[in-house]
Structure formats: C-alpha cells, structure tokens
Amino acid sequence: MMKLAKTILLTGIIGLTSGWAMAQTQQRGAVTDQEFVIRKDRVLTVPVQPRIYEKLPVLPKPSGLNEYTYMVSSYPLNIKPLDLKAEPSQKVYTPERLDLYPGYIRAGYGNFASPLLEARYMGTEISDFNYSLQLNHQSFGKGPVLGEESKEAHTNLGFDGSYFTDLFEVFGGVSWNQDSYRFYGEDPNFLVDENGMFAGFDGNVLQAVEVKAGIRELEKVGPFSYEGQLSFRNFNDSYLVKENQIGVEVSGTVRPNDDWAGRVGLSYFTTKPQDLNYSENRTYFAIRPTVSYKYEAFNFTAGLNLVSENDLLENKSSDFHVFPVLKANYQFAEEFGFFGEFSGDVQRNTYYSFVNENPFLGPSDQLLNTVQNYKIEAGIIGQFQGAFSYRAAANVSRYNQMHFFVNNYTNNLVTTDSARFSLVYDDKTTVYNINAELGYKFSDIYSLNGRLDLYQYDLSTQAEAWHRPVWEMRVNNQLTPIDRLIVQANLNLMGGVKARGHDLNDILGQETSTGPFEVVKLNTIADLQLKADYGITDRISIFAEGNNLLNGKNMRWLNYPVRGIQFIGGASFKF
C-alpha cells in the first residue's frame, strides 16, 4: 500500500515539474513546431472473455390445495336501512321535427288526351278521430281504334274515418267508383249485324257505391283480439246489370301463450244480381277455425274451411263443403327453409268481381262460385348476404266451375255484339303451377323484385283455357341515384294466351254453336314501364311516366289491342 502511494506521489511531482519548465521556456503567444504521428494500421484488440451461463434453479412443485375450515361469527348491527328516493331524469330529449302536410295534389297530362288528377286530404292532428278524403281520376279521350271510339275513363271518390278509444277502434267509410269503356273490339270478319250496323261501338258505364263500418281491437298482441265489419255495395251498368250485396265479416284470435294461437273467422254474404236473362238470390256462408303452433323456427297451422253456398248447378251433390287446412314451414337457417300446404276452399265470385277482371263482359246466363277441391304446394324460401331473397314453389290445384271468358258469337253467320264477352265454365280443371321469386336490395339505392309463373291446364269440358296465360314474368326495379330522385323500371310479360274464335260448324253453315271452335293464339304481351319522380322541394315535385314503351301490339282480350306508347308528365304539391 505504501509502495502504491509513493508511486503516485512521484508521478505527480514529475508532471508538475515538466509543466513549469515548459511554461518557463515558452513565451506567451508563441507558435512552436509540433509533430503528430497517425498510424492507420494499428489494430486495437480486446481479449475474449468467456460467458458463463448458469441454469435457473428448479423451484419446488406446489402441493395440492388443502381444505380449510373457517369459523364465521355473526355480529348483528343495529343500522337503519337506507331510504332511497327515485327521481325522474331531467334530461331533455329533442324529438325530430316532422313536417306533416294534410293535403296532396298530383296533376298531369299525356298523349291520347289523358288528363290525370289525384287529390288527398287527411287529418294530421293527434286526436281521437282521424279521417281522410281521396279523389282519383284518369281518362283517355282517344284510344287505339278510331280515336274517340275506343276511349275510357276511371274515377273514384272516397272517405274513411276512425274513432279511437283506449281499447278499440271504430272505423268506417264510403266510396264511389265509376269506370266507362267503349266496346271497340270489332271482328274483321263480322263488321255488321243483321241491320247492317256494327254493334261494337256501344259504350258502357260501370258504377259501384260501397259503405262499410266496423270495430277492431287495438292491441294485436294481447291474449285476445277481434275484428268485425258490416258492408253494403250497389253495382250497376248502363244496360240491365244490377247487383246488391250485404256482407258481414267477423274474426277472433286467442293466444294462450307465445307458442299457441287459435283463430276463428266467419263471413256471410248475400248477393242479388239481375241481368238480361236471370235474377236470383245468392248466399255464401263460411266458418274458418284454425290452430297455430310455433316452436323455435317451426310453424304449423291446422284447421277447416266450412262453406255453404246456394248456387244452382245441375247434378250438384250438396251446398255444404268441408275442406282441411294444413300449413307448415321450417326455417333451418336464414339462408334456407321450406314450406308446404294442403288446403281447399270455395272462391266467391260476383258479377262485380268478373267485370273487374274483364271490363268488356256482356250479359251472362249464370254466375257460379269456383270450388277449389284441394291445393298441394311445397317450396323453399330464404335469404343470404343480407341483400338477396328467394322463393320457389310448385303446386297443383283441382277446381270445379273454373270460369273463362270467350267472345260473344252466335250462329248462322250473325253476330249480335262480337265486342262483348261471355262466361263459360269448366266442370273439372286441374292446374299445375311452378313459380319462383327473386329479390335484391342494395341499401336504399337499388332494389329488384321478379317473379316467374308457369301454368298447365287439364280441362274436362272446355277445349282450351280461354284467355288464361301459360307463363307470366314480372320484373320491378327501383333506383334512387341521387337524393329526392326515384326511378322505376317495370317489365311485364305474358304468353301462351289462347282465345275462342268462331264456331267452325257455324262457318260451315250448320245451325249449331256447340263447337268445335276456332282457336286464336294471341301474341306475347310485353309491356315496359318507366317512371321518374323528382322532389324539387319538400312540397313540390315533378314526375314523368311511360307505358308500353316497346310499342307492342298487345292484346289481352281478343280484338282489343291496347294503346301504343303512352307518356304522361306533371307535378305534385303538398299543402
């Protein structure tokens, strides 16, 4: 230790002495020559030291958990319970302001001298009584044949009102409808009658007044719900047809729990039609009890259709009909499910329903309901990717007294009014149908819906399914490219329609009209529609519509071509 101290002291003295000597020999501020030697080839090395790795010590394994017994002592405390007072939240919720306009008017005009007018007015105030008024009118002053000789017009006016209580709603309304047509469907082979005049240009005005009143329960999800309605309708045309109808419809539903539900529906109609060749009283009474069961994704319905009707028909076995109702569906997943049905019913037909299907219907000899003996259907349904939906099914139905429309020809080369149609019935008809539906929706910008139907008819007394299609296809598109603009494009196709022409025996000079008849194949019907509506403001918008843009010579009824390309435009206003 002493040796180390002496060495350090000697080194310090030598250093101080050298510094003093240099300071004495060097003058302040003088520059002296110095020599520096830089060696680039010198390598500095550090001796390698070995690393020592030591293993972690092995920890002892924990022993298993042991059972412990604790003694819990009770220490009662004499503390008063907390007295909490609930107070409502004072947060202010600002509801979104909605501008409700009670009035609406839409007016336009197009080719074929076609004015359009729609008007509605309804109560928007919150009250026990609510009401609405509506008026619609559209006419075509010119048509496809001889201008004004094929015109038509449609007008309806209605009022609806509802009075609300805490438990139920009392509703009612009255409506008036008028449709006028010109019978322009002349036959090129028979242009004149026995007096040398063509009878096809007569016009007809169809008028119907309907009044209804009823009551319904407001809470549709409670253990019991009900609804009842009483209605009256008067219908007449410019000729001899009159039809009065009184109807009563009542339904009730019981839901003992979320899985089971029972429903009973009753309907009674009495109709008194009067035509050129008959006048009768027709009654229709039906009771339809059903029971439904739901278990997770499985739904099942069973019931009966009990129907009594008094139509006069030769060799009719009974006025009373009983049909089963069995329906089931099961959704395996959102993408796939199946459904099936086995049922039967009686379809109620009136002159008013017939003339709504074919407005060129003439005097009829008999009105009959259509009995659906059975319907068997099975299919699949589902959706995927949240945008696509589909449905496909196949069914077979058996009918009695299925109705068809045929042109009103007589024998001996004489036509009284070839522009009018008559009703004919087939005793036993079997209809096979395959249908498919597809839907697609891309947010609120674009949506598509399409349906395809294929039919096959097996008939017993009629040669063909007159004026009924063999296939139908409908495609509806809606596009919203920008805000306030809605564009619709619809395509309706129908093919395989056959019409009954002249009695071939009549053409050969025989005095019979029992057939065989000429079969007239109508061209495929193709109707392309385009509609656009643009809202300029919240109250004012403009619209444009185009129908039959392919300018097809469509003919739904024999000798009745429809109008060509139709355009109509206008504006609407809310107030």
- Summarised one tens digit per residue, pLDDT across range 144-159 is 988 888 899 999 999 9
Widest distance between CA atoms in the chain = 162
Cα 179 from chain centroid (whole Å) = 27
Closest by CA to 466, choosing from 395, 380, 565, 557, is: 557
Q: 90-131, pLDDT tens digit by residue?
A: 666 565 656 788 999 999 999 999 999 999 999 888 789 999
Q: CA angle, 160 as apex, 157 and 166 as ends, to 5°?
A: 175
Q: Does domain 103-211+312-574 have CATH number 3.50.50.60?
A: no
pLDDT for the residue numbered 97: 58
Tell me the helix, strand and coil percentages in the chain, rounded to 5. 5, 55, 40
Domain map (residue ranges) of the chain: 103-211+312-574
pLDDT for the residue numbered 91: 63
User: Residue 480: which pLDDT band, with cuts at 50, 70 and 90?
Assistant: very high
User: Residue 539: which pLDDT band, with cuts at 50, 70 and 90?
Assistant: very high
DSSP-H helix ranges across 340-418: 351-357
Neighbours of 322 (CB within 10 A): 10
Query: What SS3 class is residue 351?
Result: helix
Q: How far apart are CA 283 and CA 279, in angstroms?
A: 13
Across 255-269, average pLDDT: 95
Task: Give me the numbers of helices (H) and strands (E) for the chain, helices first please.
Answer: 3, 24
Query: What SS3 class is residue 224?
Result: strand
26 pLDDT more than 50 = no
Across 546-562, average pLDDT: 91
Amino acid at 498: K
Across 28-46, average pLDDT: 58
HSE, CB side, 13 Å, CA atoms: give it for residue 415: 24
Q: 414-451, pLDDT tens digit by residue?
A: 445 678 898 999 999 999 999 999 999 988 899 999 99
Q: Look at strands 525-535 and 471-479 and give their pairing.
A: unpaired
Element holding 12 (H helix, E strand) = helix 2-25
